[in-house]
Amino acid sequence: VIQEQFGLKTSMSRKGNCYDNAPMESFWGTLKNESLSHYRFKSRDEAISVIREYIEIFYNRQRRHSRLGNISPAAFREKYHQMAA
């Protein structure tokens, strides 16, 4: 199984409990509200491209996250590595 190749453990409680993975559920809602609801995709490739751009360019590098002190994940990671060095 692919999880074992990367040393990951699948963890789930009961069926249909969205609270088990609240951060991911929140992300999907944000993706839908901030990006996907503004598009009518003509192809699967177009959808993949838009989602990839949203995550890699906007969400991780530009969008400020309140949980990270109102900085982007990229800025948070950089700040973390500076403090750890």
Q: What is the band of 59 on the pLDDT scale with cuts at 50, 70, 90?
A: confident
Phi-psi region of 72 (alpha: psi -120 to 50; beta: other; left: phi over 0): beta
Which pLDDT does position 18 carry in this prediction? 66
Q: Judge if pTM exceeds 0.75.
A: no
Task: Say whether pLDDT at 72 is over 80.
Answer: yes
The residues spanned by each domain of the chain are 19-84
In tens, the pLDDT along 13-29 reads: 777 776 777 888 889 99
pLDDT level of residue 6 (50, 70, 90 thresholds): confident
> What pLDDT, in 10s, does the model give residues 36-55?
999 999 999 999 999 999 99
